[in-house]
Amino acid sequence: MSTHALRVTDPVEALVVEQALALVRELKHTCQSAPHGHVLAHAELVALERGRELTRQALEAVLNQQAQAAEKKGRRDAPVPVRAPATTKARRSGR
């Protein structure tokens, strides 16, 4: 068995790599402990449930990282168009 060195560039990548390894280890455990004839069904359930969760967490982490970077930079100044004040077209009640 060969080992590979991975180079992660930030905490988000490290989190996703750790979660992916945990998923693979859980799949291995599921396959080893599943009853004969049910390995694929059990493994598919774990892959779907945990895979979706891994994807959701990765997306959340990336979006949070992007939002934090944008907050550090601040917002760009830009002109905002101004409209005339709105007028209502409804009639007033008989007060």
How far apart CA 19 and CA 56 sit, in angstroms, is: 11
- Domain assignment present for residue 2? The answer is no
- Domain assignment present for residue 45? The answer is yes
- Domain assignment present for residue 51? The answer is yes
- Domain assignment present for residue 90? The answer is no
- Domain assignment present for residue 88? The answer is no
Q: Give me the mean pLDDT over the 1-24 stretch.
A: 90
When divided into structural domains, the chain yields a total of: 1
Q: Is the pLDDT of residue 93 over 90?
A: no
CA distances from 59 to 11, 15, 22, 23, 72 (A): 14, 12, 17, 16, 20
Does the pTM surpass 0.75? The reply is no
Q: Give me the mean pLDDT over the 71-92 stretch.
A: 72
How far apart CA 7 and CA 5 sit, in angstroms, is: 7
> Cβ distance 8 to 14 under 8 Å?
yes
- Domain assignment present for residue 67? The answer is yes
Domain carrying residue 36:
11-71
- Domain assignment present for residue 44? The answer is yes
- Domain assignment present for residue 50? The answer is yes
